[in-house]
Amino acid sequence: MKRSRLGKESPVVVIGGPTASGKSALALALAERLNGIVVNADAMQVYRELAIVTARPTAEEMARAPHRLYGVLSAAQRCTVARWRRLALAAIAAARREGRLPIVVGGTGLYLKALMEGLAAVPDIPPAIRAQAKARHTALGAPGLHAELARLDPAMAARLKPGDSQRLIRAWEVVTATGQSLAAFQQAIPAPPRLWFVPIRLLPPRQELYAACDARCRRMLADGALDEVRALQALKLDPDLPAMKAVGVRELMQCLGGDLSREAALAAFQQATRNYAKRQLTWFRNQMPKAQTWDAQLSESLIDEIFSFIRNLVDPNRTTH
């Protein structure tokens, strides 16, 4: 098939959806057909030590089309939304200079939202204050921290539920470090880059998605996920690092420690993956309402349909393959 050539006004395709929905396979198929570059938007696939448990594209798949931002950071590092966004914009710019179609794909909704809509310019929080925020949460519990936040930052406390621990901690550390409400930073979000984003959602039926999640977890164990987690464990990293919180890491560490059998660890891994997929489904339904949506598990016919949709945007005058 002749590959499309892109002009300066070519789009940036953004593919989002839950884990195991077929996003990566779709991105690869589009990249092969449309002279594209695949840019990772999965918060865990950026870590080089987590190839198997994050279902990162294989070496063979990455050889079929250029892939960017996969395995580019050590698990000892933190990849913030702001850091990823800078890397992604650079990868998109490079793809456009090469005349290739940028195809951003991943299930980390906050990454995709920040890319397309902009990101609040919150200053870096000193590690000491991050540690203090977590200590306050441990000492007071979520309701106590929420009450304290209500005194420090009433605007954010009003937005957050007491059980939303992660966002409570974030709001507490921002107001403590900067003296300003996180709400104020969010209201002053800089304009997003002047790019033509074409968002796509894959939202398969829940039961099909859950079956795909279960099959993926079984395949990960067969492919050596336990050995991968064992190597990660040997690094003795801070358990609060993002990579240590990847879906499946805790369950497989429990297996390695003798607390769970292999069968029980697999069942727990599958349950955690299904729970994650459920949260992602909810997020993408609510947070990407303007995306072109396909409510089906990926198939060859679906790839053909999405390819035609994208090709017509890239080259609307083309009528034949």
CB-count burial class (<10 Å; 0-12, 13-18, 19+) for 40: buried
Do 37 and 110 fall within a single domain?
A: yes
Do 300 and 220 fall within a single domain?
A: yes
Instruction: Round to whole Å and give the CA distance between 213 and 18.
Output: 10
Q: Look up the CATH number of the domain holding residue 150.
A: 1.10.20.140
Do 156 and 99 fall within a single domain?
A: no
Tell me if 2 is assigned to some domain: no
Cα angle 253, 255, 258 (rounded to 5 degrees) comes to 110
Tell me if 243 is assigned to some domain: yes
Do 195 and 179 fall within a single domain?
A: no
Tell me if 142 is assigned to some domain: yes
Provide the 8-state DSSP code for 122. P
Do 115 and 263 fall within a single domain?
A: yes
Measured CA distances, 291 to 14, 223, 285 (Å) = 9, 34, 9
Q: Are 95 and 37 in contact (CB under 8 A)?
A: yes
Last residue in a domain, options 156, 186, 216: 186
Tell me if 266 is assigned to some domain: yes
Do 196 and 96 fall within a single domain?
A: yes
- pLDDT for position 94: 96
- pLDDT for position 320: 44
Last residue in a domain, options 148, 166, 186: 186
Do 93 and 160 fall within a single domain?
A: no
- Token representation of residue 145: 């921290």
Tell me if 225 is assigned to some domain: yes
The helix/strand/coil state of 24 is: helix
Do 157 and 306 fall within a single domain?
A: no
Instruction: Round to whole Å and give the CA distance between 306 and 304.
Output: 6
**Total residue length of the chain:** 321
Do 205 and 168 fall within a single domain?
A: no
Number of domains in the chain: 2
φ, ψ of residue 70 in degrees (nearest 5):
-105, 125
Tell me if 223 is assigned to some domain: yes
- Token representation of residue 103: 């195809």
Q: Are 253 and 53 in contact (CB under 8 A)?
A: no
Last residue in a domain, options 186, 210, 228: 186
- pLDDT for position 102: 97
Tell me if 3 is assigned to some domain: no
For residue 152, the enclosing domain spans 127-186
Exposure on the CB side of residue 20, measured as CA atoms within 13 A: 25
Instruction: Round to whole Å and give the CA distance between 45 and 58.
Output: 12
- Cβ-count burial 202-220 (b if 16+ within 10 Å, e if not): bbbeeeebbebbbebbeeb
Q: Look up the CATH number of the domain holding residue 40.
A: 3.40.50.300
User: What pLDDT tens digit does each residue of the chain (321 aa) get?
Assistant: 334 444 446 899 999 999 999 999 999 999 999 999 999 999 999 999 999 999 999 999 999 999 999 999 999 999 989 899 999 999 999 999 999 999 999 999 999 999 998 887 777 888 899 889 999 999 999 899 999 999 999 999 999 988 888 889 999 999 999 998 988 877 766 666 789 999 999 999 999 999 999 999 999 999 999 999 999 999 999 998 999 999 999 999 999 999 999 999 999 999 999 999 999 999 999 998 889 999 998 999 999 999 999 998 877 665 444
Tell me if 4 is assigned to some domain: no
Kindly report the number of other CB atoms within 10 A of residue 252's CB atom: 27
Do 244 and 295 fall within a single domain?
A: yes
Query: Considering the entire predicted model, what is its pTM?
Result: 0.84
- pLDDT for position 315: 73
Instruction: Round to whole Å and give the CA distance between 23 and 17.
Output: 7
Beta bridge partners of 294: 202
Do 54 and 16 fall within a single domain?
A: yes
Do 107 and 144 fall within a single domain?
A: no
